[in-house]
Chain A
């Protein structure tokens, strides 16, 4: 395998052997290790010294189920700390097929420009090849226009990653876009502004054609196959992940009603835990609405080849035409309940605009919520929200302000209720009503991030035990364990949603580990999972501390400590000493 470096200062590339220290890592383990080792923690995220690293997971590109994840990592323009944001797309599988362990985008051109890096397999030389081509014709445009043009130019079988207008404008909110299964611009490493890190290197798109590439080498194929089968069985058996199960039928927005019922669905900029319009924005409403508009039941599709969970939905207009894919839980909430908007058609249009411009839906919804709080537009006004997001795509002064993210908008308008940690907008779980996830938000190296340690599983969903969400008791240890396990899963290339099955079905967990052993030739046991995850977290933590983000930043916004949240009238009452124990006790 290779480390492939693109030097954008002179548009050259080089291939390096994978060092021993990275040999048994993948995904987040690789991106965080390289950022930790090579990026000066105090550099400007958009300056010449930052590096953007892409890494497929350990089993990405193999027949392992639901393993098409690609990690992107860099110093974040949003948080100022380390960032890893992963997405499901065939792009990561293509990169793995070229035997690239890490693609490192570094350097900065002296003159502003926009380029496509075109990666192919050089058959005679037996290694990847890169050509750089001008991309000016794709600049300043809607990604729904640009993607078909890229596929026309580079062929139907390629995979595409890149950035949209949000990246071109340098927004702290800009995500990295990847192709979906229909070659559309809907899969995202959304969080942390990585799209702007890409654009600031003069790179607009990375197109991969894996024709003739050798694919992933598997050290012990019988061990891999055995592990794969165990994991497949667990995913097919578990009620959440099985075909026509919860995720395949209702998508991730199946969570809207349960968080609302638990009083933990952040509503109108985190001023309540219940939204009266929840039911009409939930997964059940998406399923029923599509059925009514299409005249048939529609089950969800995969984000990448080989996913057997298949949770990605498509929302349709009243005339039955496709409006957008996909209405995730986070997106439906951020642009729905958090803004007081209860129309799925308005939410769908807001998501479509985020995809068109290359924006993170969570940060966009968080920002709109604070702008509504400030009185820029009223809560619940879907048409006005659509106009504001259009301004973000146009790059008007207000649009640029909104593109800088939730915390900046709160500061500019003098708002005290600003739901961020380390500069990143909170996702769709109210920490005052679900204390464990609040600990994850506060202490994660990523800023407020639910995926970093998804304690929602036992606190709300009854997966991997049942815990009282309102109690802070034992939750620091819980968050620590989830954060470490997650760092490992994010390194395997598996979708985090396998956790629902493998936390309940032990053989599935073992299957995940055995797949990795099969690919790498290692002899890891379940005990190694937390150890390896913790090592990754320690590197991330060390980077953040050197960047000036220490434990004093592991705190919730102050309003959550004094403003009781209806309906349970809870404040965030986890003591600082408990928050500090999460990393102190690794």
Chain B
């Protein structure tokens, strides 16, 4: 299955060629989880503080569906 993914802030260097705001596409086996996606991107799980799937924060064992849009963030803060 194919999912769309964006990495933000300090994680951007794991997908250095993707322009700001654009999605990368990733092909994963059926039943793959957020964890599997992180592994395929070589993003260590400890660096991914919050992972959104279709706008909702999801845990590492969350099963992905074809067409899911995933946003991955390191620890960030501001205000």
Contact surface of A with B, Cβ cutoff 8 Å: 238-241, 246-247, 249-255, 257-258, 261-263, 278-280, 282-285, 288, 311, 329-330, 450-451, 454, 456-457, 460-463, 466, 468-470, 496-497, 500, 567-568
Which size class do B's interface residues fall under?
A: 20 to 34
A255 touches B8 (CB 8 A): no
B74 beta carbon closer than 8 Å to chain A: yes
6 more A-B residue pairs beyond the given contacts A239-B75, A254-B76, with a C-beta to C-beta distance below 8 A: A239-B49, A246-B75, A249-B10, A282-B20, A461-B75, A468-B57
Known: A246-B9, A251-B78, A451-B79. A279 touches B20 (CB 8 A): yes
Residues from chain B with Cβ under 8 Å of A254 in the complex: 9, 76-78
A329 touches B78 (CB 8 A): yes
B9 touches A250 (CB 8 A): yes
Most buried by B among A251, A496, A500: A500
Closest to A284 in B: B20
- In chain B, positions 18-33 with a C-beta closer than 8 Å to chain A are 20-21
Closest to A501 in B: B77
B44 beta carbon closer than 8 Å to chain A: no
- In chain B, positions 47-70 with a C-beta closer than 8 Å to chain A are 49-50, 52, 55-57
Known: A246-B10, A250-B9, A258-B8. A311 touches B57 (CB 8 A): no
Which of B10, B55, B56, B79 is A329 in contact with, Cβ under 8 Å? B79
B75 touches A240 (CB 8 A): yes
Residues from chain A with Cβ under 8 Å of B6 in the complex: 261
A262 touches B78 (CB 8 A): no
Residues from chain B with Cβ under 8 Å of A457 in the complex: 77
Known: A257-B8, A261-B55. A454 touches B20 (CB 8 A): no
Closest to A260 in B: B71
How far apart are A340's CB and chain B's nearest CB, in angstroms?
16
Q: Can you list 5 pairs linking A and B with CB atoms under 8 Å apart?
A: A247-B77, A250-B76, A261-B6, A280-B20, A463-B77
How far apart are A251's CB and chain B's nearest CB, in angstroms?
7
Closest to A239 in B: B75
How far apart are A313's CB and chain B's nearest CB, in angstroms?
11
